[in-house]
Amino acid sequence: MIRVLHQDLDMSFGVVAPFRSDHPILQNLAPTTIANTTKNNTLAIYISGSSLLTELSRLNDEAGQLMLGSSANLTGTGQNFRVEDVDYEIKAAFGIIVDYGLQRYHIYGGRPSTIIDFENIKVLRMGSTYELLKECMMKYWGWKHAGGYGV
């Protein structure tokens, strides 16, 4: 499902899934990094339809390393879709800023990304692209989601 939605349909969304703490690629991470990026033996991953992030991910994978990042916003303040919309305090902490221009999901009014637990096929957060994801999942896999979180 994830591969079809991301690679074939060029969609962006968050995925929550179990992970193996003994996986070789995780061994170079500090225990505090793992503790701060996981919950109940699951890891949340943003799957981007952006060609820039896809290429950066490919290069990191080829090098056998992870690319970790945080949202460029403060909790509860909505999504930023332009570099100039990011708070100064956050930009000051960056080592590098890549201005990739206005992002395509800006039309959703600052909604964060949709997050889906694909192991249990459960929506954890309805955000931008939710309607598109729902339609594709109904069409291709017969998924019926009436709305609401955790349904």
DSSP 20-76: -TT-GGGTTS-HHHHHHHEETTEEEEEE---HHHHHHHHHHHHTT-------SS-TT
pTM greater than 0.85 (yes/no): no
Q: What does DSSP assign to residue 128?
A: B
Asked whether residue 39 is assigned to any structural domain, the reply reads yes
Lowest-confidence pick of 8-17, 52-61, 93-102, 120-129: 93-102
> 99 near 83, Cβ under 8 Å?
yes
**pLDDT by residue (tens digit) across 51-87?**
888 888 899 889 988 877 766 667 777 677 778 888 8
> Does residue 101 lie within any of the structural domains?
no
Number of domains in the chain: 1
Residue 141 in this model has a pLDDT that exceeds 70: yes
Instruction: Give a yes or no: residue 38 inside a domain.
Output: yes
**3-class SS at 13?**
strand
Q: What is the pLDDT of residue 3?
A: 87
CB 73 within 8 A of CB 90: yes
In a domain? residue 73:
no
Here the tokens at position 83 are 């570099």
Phi then psi for residue 131, to 5 deg, are -60, -40
- Residue 26 forms part of a structural domain: yes
Q: Is the pLDDT of residue 146 over 80?
A: no
pLDDT at 86: 84
Whole-number average pLDDT of the chain: 81
Domain that holds residue 116: 2-68+112-141
Residue 130 in any domain: the answer is: yes
How many residues are given for the chain? 151
Q: Per the domain annotation, does 120 fall within a domain?
A: yes
